[in-house]
Every structure is written in structure tokens, then in C-alpha cells.
Chain A
């Protein structure tokens, strides 16, 4: 039984492009920078509408972060864009000193995060970016789940005053959240009510969590599914309320288990409501080349993996 339906599949990076297109018309303070990946970041419409507000940096990401910090000092709202690997890990110190420590209103907006980048392989498949970014004091970390939500998150990031890491990806995934939704940073979204297990998912894993809940329902298990699109600040109130009801947790993310969403949830629960928790994520390894779906299967990041972990979490609750 389908708990959610969708009409089309789109890539989340195109949602970012749509958000930037909206901002090109509606927010004259927004500027965009890109390190030789305009097509991959879907910036064509932004550049067409406001070419004077676009800065091509060439393949020079460190300089791009500094430029963005400078543009923010001058009163603009810069979106520094590239692949997630090059926009976070490669330029960590630039983000740390010139953006986070300096408190700059810079948006680091990155596509091709995680395994679903596919055939390019592990050099490009960063699985550590959420951890790197959430460790920086004051940094907001957002990982929306579909096209519509990514568009809304992009617009919300521009309105928010402070550094933001916005993470999205390359593959097409079901578009199931409402068009023109209002995106509230730090506000978890209840997708499915349930009483047996809380599934907290982020990014591409949110749709997988919905499928998992359908499979679990056929087994008579009522899973609660919550979309944690903002990893930092974490909506601990929503997490607490759900876990108080269900008594066990599965976290799901296209990221290392170390340092990811599940790790943030576990830290909160350890202090406030110790609860059995299972983690769906990459277990301390690099990715590899392959088709996105095959990679997600091999590394245990799909609906079936969530189902298995949910059953395990429920069993630990009863033990």
C-alpha cells in the first residue's frame, strides 16, 4: 500500500537551480559563484537572468570561498557552488576561518554529495561533508529530500542571515513534497505517523524510508517517518516526542555513520532519553564506481536496509 505518491522524478540539484532562478528575480542581493561546474549546478537560468551577479572562479575552490566571504562583507548573499567534495573537504580551512569563525553570511551550496554521484567513484563521492560542516560552530547544515524541498531550502537559505551548508545530489528521485512549500530551517517534518519505531531520514534516504515504512506496514509494524532536512540545528523536540512514543530509532543517511545525522541524534538521546538506535549509513569505508542504485544496494543505503535495521531496533527494545 502506497503511503506517498509521486508523478515525476527529478534531481535535487535542479531544485537548487530553480531556487536560484527564483532568487535571481526576487532577491537582488543574491550572487552566485561557481568553480567551472555551471551545468552540473544548474545555474544557467540564474546566469541568464543576472549575469552581473555571477562569478566564474575557474577550478579554484579555495579562492571561491574567500571571494564569497568578501562579497558577504560588501552586503551580498553569496552562494558558493561546486561538487560537495570540493566545496567542503577540499576547502575546510577556508570555510573555517573566512566563513564560520568570521561569521559571514555565505551559503555553501553543493551538488553530487554521497554515493549517488555514481560512476565517477570515491574521489568525488564525499561521505564526510555533513560531519565536517556540522562541527563548525554556527554552521547550519541542510540536506533536503527532493526537488521541491531543495528549491524551498535554497530560498530559505538566502533569507537566513548566517553561514549555511546546503547539500544536494545528482540522481533523479521521486518528487513527493508539495510545490512552493514554506521551508523552515531546523523544523523536522512528520511524514508518517507510527508507534513501533522512529525512522529519522535525511536527503535521498527520506524516500527510501517511506518505502521501508510501507514494507514494514505489510508486516504489521507501524513505523514513524520523520524527514530531518536540517541536521544542524537539530529539531530535538520532534525527535524527543517521537522516540518517547516509539522507544527505538533508525537513522538513515547517505553519509558516513561517523559524524552524520544518526550521530547527532544519538548524542541527543544519550543525554536526554537513552534509546536503542540502529544506523543506516556508510560504515567507515570509501565508495566506488557504479550505478547509483547498485551502490546504494551494496552499501546498505536503501529501503530494505532500513527495514532490516528497524526490525533489529524493535527487537532490541523488547530485549
Chain B
């Protein structure tokens, strides 16, 4: 039961990174110029999916609270600056994308767009740091609380945050290659291919810093799984580059999406059976079973989630199906 809920938590957080990842990627790419029309076209490509993407985060935190209350309290308050930073980013993107087209003045719209760029960077950075914090362990004391927030300030956390920003940028460019009209897609496809080596370097940097960090080496329960992570990430990025070169943006998006989902799955697997590893007191490490809510709560939530999950995924799939294909002059414009 614990494992099923842990997997579900991973599914929703991973799903959030994959789906909102291209929101943030498109957000970052608003900074690359292209003028008001280019930015508008990018946001139109995002259009109908935007609202359905960020809800995965809300669902993930809902599951975190309902099924893993202890983890929710310790993880979020223990990594306060990372979570708060990501949250500010999420809010800037949410408000920026939805409100930027309401004023008619292009200068004001450009100001909102800059807000989206900053927000996208903050969100990606924050979630990258949070995943790094899990992998490098937290100073959880015997009383069950994480002491202070300075444990986040490590080179590994910074490198992981930057790697997440780079991954998200590649993902966003790939998404635009799939969605924009053919002429614009060729341009953004080149950007995506140029971003792949950047992302590879960022992942390599995070890997090296992580391998050198004694905290990461101590915290990880399954080193093989942890080493597998950068290898699979590199493979996914190279696959995306190859698919882009062969003009298969759909496959490329699947590969960059996998690159965003993989860290969640592999961080979870590398730490299992722990979820919060204590760097100060081995006895204070929190296992998934200890973090989970008691059995009656999980049973109740299970009965709710079981019939609901197909509906949730079904309506999301309906949204993807209804608005599939490239945008054109007749695509509805709202953002």
C-alpha cells in the first residue's frame, strides 16, 4: 500500500515535471527574441494545455499531504527556500501567461513576458534543488525535525538546479517544434538541437559534483541506480537530438519528457526504502513506510483514487486529443 501510494506520488510529480516542464521551457524561450508575434505564437502553442498542466503539481502535493503527511511537513519546511522559490516561480508563470494578453499595450505585454521568463527559471531551479536535496540528504534530528535551511547551499544542489533549467529549456523547444507551424518549427528545432549539448554539459557537471560529494555518496542506498540516472538522461537527450535531426518532433518530445520524468523515478528508487536520509543521525532517517499515513487513511484514499484515476487521465488525454496537431492561423488565441 505504501509503495503504491509512493509510486502514485512519483507519477503525479513526474507528470507535473514533464507537462509543466514544457510550459517553463516555452516560458524561458520567450527570452530568445522573435518579437511580440513570436512570443504570442509560442504561448498560443501552449494554449489549451497550460491550465491542465500545473494541476499535476497541486495533485502531487495533495497526495503528499493525504498519503505522506509526515514527509509533507518535513520536506517542505526543511527545504523552505527551494520550495518557496519554486512556488514564486510557479505563481509568476501562472499569472504571467494568463494575464499577459489582457492589456492591449505591447510594452506592458513584454513586461508580463519577462515575468514569465523569470518565473520559469525560478520554478525549474527550485524543483531541481529539491530533488538534489533528497539525493544529498537533510540534517534531520532525532526529534524528527530538519535543522536549519543552510544544508541546501551545496555545489551539487546548484548544479542540479541548473541542469533542471537546461532540461526544461530543451523540452520546451522540442514542444514548440512539435506544435508551431512548419516554417517556425524549423527555426525552433535548430534551437532545440543547439540546446541539447548545453543540457548534456549541465547534467555532466551535476554528475561530477554529485560523485565528488560525500553527502550524496553516503545518502544514496543504491549507487547503481543513482549512476544509471545521468547515463539514462544522456541517452534520452541524445535520442531527442537524433529524432529532431530526422524531423520526428513527436519522438523527440517523448525523449525530452522521459529526461524530466527519469530524475523523479530514479531519485525515489536510489533512496528506497528511505525518502529523507539524515546526514547527522542515521537513526533519524525517514523511511517511506514511516512517512506514510496510517492504514485506514490510505485505504480510504485508495477507494477514492481507484475509480478516479482513469477519469483524471482520460480527461487530460481528451484535452491532448482535441487540440492535437500544429497551430495555424485558425487556432484559438487567448493567452
Q: Do A and B bind each other?
A: no
